[in-house]
């Protein structure tokens, strides 16, 4: 313990000497209520962040389970999207090397995208973007896993 810690402890000890036991208990109860309210608000915020639970009543265990499930789903989805981006980058680089991309030019500097990529405005690049999408025409909405019924495993 440093000297500063001793000073803080001593100054903290002086104030409680003048508080009654009831005042201490009331102060403790107020702090505990505030802590519980913060946890409750955090769980409600988490619940409302998970699409399958938005606005629903759910226990804390259900909220944690569904949030974990949703995070895993989003990680898989992000991984798939990153693979698609990498594939498109390779395809564009190959097309540029082959010289088969007429009128190909990088996106203008005012393009405010936070991703590090070099896309072209040419029809071939845009076509590869639309054709390569693995989920074209399908709903990409997240749905929680269904519980296994009798006989399913």
Please give the angle made by the CA atoms of 21, 25 and 28, to the nearest 5 degrees: 140
Task: State the chain's mean pLDDT as an integer.
Answer: 75
Does any domain span residue 9?
A: no
CATH number of the domain encompassing residue 26: 4.10.280.10
Q: Of 109, 133, 105, which Cα lies nearest the Cα of 121? A: 105
Q: Taking Cα atoms as reference points, which of 128, 106, 131, 124 lies closest to residue 116?
A: 106
Domain count, the chain: 1
Nearest CA to 71 out of 150, 144, 149 is that of 144
- Does residue 96 surpass a pLDDT of 60? yes
* Full domain range(s) for residue 36: 21-99
Per-residue pLDDT tens over the stretch 98-139 = 886 555 566 566 655 555 555 555 544 444 444 444 444 445
**40-64 tens-digit pLDDT:** 999 999 999 999 999 889 999 999 9
Residues 6 or more apart from 143 whose CB is under 8 A from it?
Answer: 52
**Domain-embedded: residue 26:** yes
């Amino acid at each position: 313990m440093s000297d500063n810690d001793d000073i803080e402890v001593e100054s903290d000890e002086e104030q409680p000497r003048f508080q009654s036991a009831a005042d201490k208990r009331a102060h403790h109860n107020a702090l505990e209520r505030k802590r519980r309210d913060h946890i409750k608000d955090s769980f409600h915020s988490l619940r409302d962040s998970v699409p399958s639970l938005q606005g629903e009543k759910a226990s804390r265990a259900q909220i944690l389970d569904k949030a974990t499930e949703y995070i895993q789903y989003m990680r898989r989805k992000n991984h798939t999207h990153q693979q698609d981006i990498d594939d498109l980058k390779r395809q564009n680089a190959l097309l540029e090397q082959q010289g088969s991309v007429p009128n190909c030019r990088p996106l203008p500097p005012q393009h405010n995208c936070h991703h590090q990529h070099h896309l072209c405005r040419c029809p071939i690049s845009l076509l590869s973007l639309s054709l390569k999408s693995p989920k074209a025409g399908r709903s990409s909405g997240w749905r929680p896993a269904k519980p296994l019924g009798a006989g399913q495993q």
